Structure 1
């Protein structure tokens, strides 16, 4: 049996492009490596602060994201994702810049979730910043324009702590913000499932599910599904390439 090479690093096939941030990352957050049951590779994108990406359309950052994605591929990654749903704006360009699959945003799940639901039901979207989530973000991810959207803006903790990149975070208050916004979203009776735009929302998915009774789709779940195609599990439970 002969093995084929060609990569620098093996066993960590999923690459994650990271914003430059210092807020606390708890287990469940994509930026906490213990979130995943498999190894991942990270690249920090210089200058990509939460404020610049979410509130200012990632202006001027396409080049740095492309460079970081190419570096991950050079170091053995077979697929690229990011840790911010607002990076759907770069989906087409990043996919064209590297020779591996790219999944930039949790928003990309909305169209698929809609196909899963009964007639008359659709996905609702929970975002960290409803005021700056534009039609361009939705179109880039294939999200129907009439999708119900709610936001954690105006809450006590979550949006402020993340987007202002604060060094402390109260998880209980952040969870309360997410649950409150999700309940508001579900006042629309057509909402049959919830897609969390923000990757930092994943630690609160169970609480959102319990409070709303709706299935909750996260970026961590999306990334794990993505990884399962890049590195299918072997019979003994190990991951492949």
Structure 2
């Protein structure tokens, strides 16, 4: 477990019981720097992804204030769908907030050669609305591929105590392959779901595309909160 002492990055956790395997944003071993976690009670994956997020906004703010009171100078979350409330979190907490991996879509798109675009892999394409994409400033026309019906989605959204990691890896790769086959101009893949990070190397190997995630985003975000010393 990463030591919380001196943690600049505070991470708002959904109320979950599924395994947080290495690579998952909710596993402290996934980070090379200290992080501090705090759970938002009642904010289950299904409630945040599939239902109305509004009843939980004040709870996220309250828990975020607990983290900033403990010295965190930047706040992140563990669900890409929370892009919807990032502006309110930042205003209420008065610190930088990185709420969703989707927020890096514009920067990724700007790096791609002409004629290429970012493709998004999400846990639920049916729930990822235009409002979510606009809130994260995802470039218009970015194709989206979901994992509806997969064992991965059932475990995460159902908040089950077990996760078939091997099967999830197969499902992730297959979904990414469908994405690039359906949209040949996808030059990079962005993982909306924070629980997809452990499978990023497999996706990159199978598709030949760069893969970005909440892990790449928060490493960049944290570098600004605590710039490395080269002295």
In which range does the TM-score fall when normalised by the shorter chain? over 0.9
Structure 2 unpaired stretches of 5+: none
Q: Residues 163-195 of structure 1, C-alpha deviation per residue, up to 9 Å, x if partnerless? A: 001101110101111111100110111100000
Identify the residue that residue 228 of structure 1 maps to in structure 2: 223
Cα root mean square deviation, aligned? 1.1
Q: Distance in 1 between matches of 2:63 and 2:207?
A: 38
From 99, 116, 121, the counterpart of 2:116:
121
Q: Distance in 2 between matches of 1:145 and 1:63?
A: 30
**SS of 1:20 mapped into structure 2:** coil
Establish whether residue 170 from structure 1 lines up as the match of residue 164 from structure 2: yes
Q: Determine if contact 2:104/2:217 at 8 Å carries over to the other structure.
A: yes
Establish whether residue 191 from structure 1 lines up as the match of residue 186 from structure 2: yes
Structure 1 unpaired stretches of 5+: 1-8, 237-241
Identify the residue that residue 129 of structure 2 maps to in structure 1: 134
Identify the residue that residue 86 of structure 1 maps to in structure 2: 81
Identify the residue that residue 179 of structure 1 maps to in structure 2: 173
Identify the residue that residue 45 of structure 1 maps to in structure 2: 40
Q: Residues 57-95 of structure 1, C-alpha deviation per residue, up to 9 Å, x if partnerless? A: 324000000111111111000100101000001011011
Runs of at least 4 residues of structure 1 off by over 2 A?
none
Count of aligned positions: 227
Q: CA deviation at 1:145?
A: 3.2
Q: Distance in 2 between matches of 1:235 and 1:22?
A: 40
Q: Distance in 2 between matches of 1:145 and 1:46?
A: 34
Q: More displaced, 131-140 or 144-153?
A: 144-153
Tell me the TM-score normalised to structure 1 length: 0.92
